[in-house]
Amino acid sequence: MAALACGLILAGCQTATTKPQSQSQTSARDRLPLSARITQWRQSHDSVKATAPPASTPTPPADLWSLTRANLELEPQIDQSSVDDQLNRYLKHDRYMTKAADQAASYYHFVLNRVLERRLPAEIALLPFVESGYNPLARSPSHAVGAWQFIPGTAALFGLKSSWWYDGRRDIIQSTTAALDYLEYLNERFEGDWLLALAAYNCGEGCVARAVKRNAAAGKATDYWHLSLPRETRRYIPKLIAVARLIKNAEQLGVALPKLDNTPYFDIVDFDGQIELAKAADLADVDLDELKRLNPGFNRWATDPDGPHRLLVPVANADRLRQGLSRLPPSERVHWARYRIRSGDTLSGIAARFDTSVAVIRKSNKLSSNRIRAGKTLLIPSPATEAIAAASPRTGGGQTRVHRVSSGDSLWNIARRYGVSTEQLADWNSISDARSLRPGQDLILYPNTGDPG
């Protein structure tokens, strides 16, 4: 039945043709390093983009699948048996597309609309189905990461930073921007031939350029279908077109796609500085797992102190987070553990205890080297519950506690309640001004243990 349906779909389609690559593609430009070619492209691209007229905005379809179908440009031009084969595989293993479509539900509105804003074929928005099943946490054996599957070198070329705190390849905002930039660059590199550009996205522009050059030298056709390319790349375009065809003809093929309204799932909330994810989830009244799912670029328990300073939250919760942030001073958005250095301590050991890195501790404390001295104090960003366990490796005596400040609390009455001095309480929590206490602030206490150092 699937094979018959494929035949019906393909009836009347024309085989895509591609003009031969010009000699300019083997010019001096191609001998430049990739980074230099990308820089040249970006300069010319930004100039053209600045003067381009705005796209017309007809009334869009109510659902995202209809919007996709209305903007498919590549699929109607292709009639290849390899596409039939891939479509039959998707129909036979329909759980893959069902799972991937569910995974895409939170991100697809953003990605598709970014693609269409650039006037690119809607098939580009389907690429993460092929690359990763629309999973921003996907990782390949070749160390490609994210929904768009960037390898480290290409990620760096297109501005996706990676640090202890953050990996831009997993960030749906940053990675989508980088992927569309890369694809536009490749499309221009291969003179408007989207199939060659997409093939180059898979195996690299050098791989495709060499295949084109070999065919041209032998007097052969230089379109994608006639090139000698790696096996994975030969299957790459058929997979993408098969996904497009499946979505285009879902009803005819008996495929039940999940309903995706043409409305955004998330909103972007900008702020200054760093914030703990758990605290942000509490302010937004969003489940922490949901917040982490929408912001998979953040590797740790808090946002990156060097940015990006924004979080994605469901649309209904965005204003709540904005209001909560407006009431929460930056000094209370991240907990800082206060650690007294002991004899024999090393920065690497302290970093391991707090599940952080030496670089983070050095930067937080403005240390010029890894040398530390017993008796000195380090401030280390860490979630309150983890900081308690890490900073308090004690035996017997008192039990570490966390006190959440309520309206009317003061250092004096909190200290009296727990049987400690105000000086101890201030020292444990790096408080220099007793008037800085605010409702909702968490204080760490070590009752009956004396000096935590």
Single-letter code of the amino acid located at 369: S
* Nearest residue to 336 (alpha-carbon basis) of 299, 259, 391: 391
Confidence of residue 428 (pLDDT cuts 50, 70, 90): low
Question: What are the b/e assignments for 31-70, b being 16+ CB within 10 Å?
Answer: eeeeeebbeebeeeeeeeeeeeeeeeeeeeeeebbebbbe
Contacts of 163 (CB under 8 A, 6+ apart): 304, 306
Q: What is the pLDDT of residue 379?
A: 87
Q: What is the pLDDT of residue 353?
A: 78
Confidence of residue 325 (pLDDT cuts 50, 70, 90): very high
Structure tokens at 74: 């590549």
The length of the chain in residues reads 453
Q: What is the mean pLDDT of residues 262-275?
A: 95
Confidence of residue 142 (pLDDT cuts 50, 70, 90): confident
Residues 340, 283 contacting (CB under 8 angstroms): no
- Structural domains of the chain in order of their starting residue, each with its CATH number: 2-253 (1.10.530.10), 266-331 (no CATH), 335-445 (3.10.350.10)
Single-letter code of the amino acid located at 105: A
pLDDT of residue 290 exceeding 90, the answer is yes
Residues 274, 381 contacting (CB under 8 angstroms): yes
Structure tokens at 382: 């860490």
Question: Lowest mean pLDDT: which of 121-130, 148-157, 190-199, 439-448?
Answer: 439-448
Residues 283, 328 contacting (CB under 8 angstroms): yes
Q: What is the pLDDT of residue 51?
A: 55
Model's pTM, two decimal places? 0.75
**Catalytic site residues?**
131
Q: What is the pLDDT of residue 295?
A: 97
- Mean pLDDT (the chain) is 83
Question: What are the b/e assignments for 288-316, b being 16+ CB within 10 Å?
Answer: eebbeebbbbbebbbbbbeebeebbbbee
Q: What is the pLDDT of residue 95?
A: 86
> Rounded to whole angstroms, what are the CA distances from 394 to 108, 109, 397, 415, 448?
50, 51, 8, 21, 12
Backbone phi, psi, residue 276, to 5°: -70, 140
* Nearest residue to 72 (alpha-carbon basis) of 243, 221, 232, 200: 243
Where are the strands (E) in 315-374, listed by range? Answer: 336-340
pLDDT of residue 56 exceeding 60, the answer is no
pLDDT of residue 19 exceeding 50, the answer is no
Instruction: Quote the CA–CA distance of 337 and 428 in Å, as a whole number.
Output: 8
Largest alpha-carbon pair distance within the chain? 90
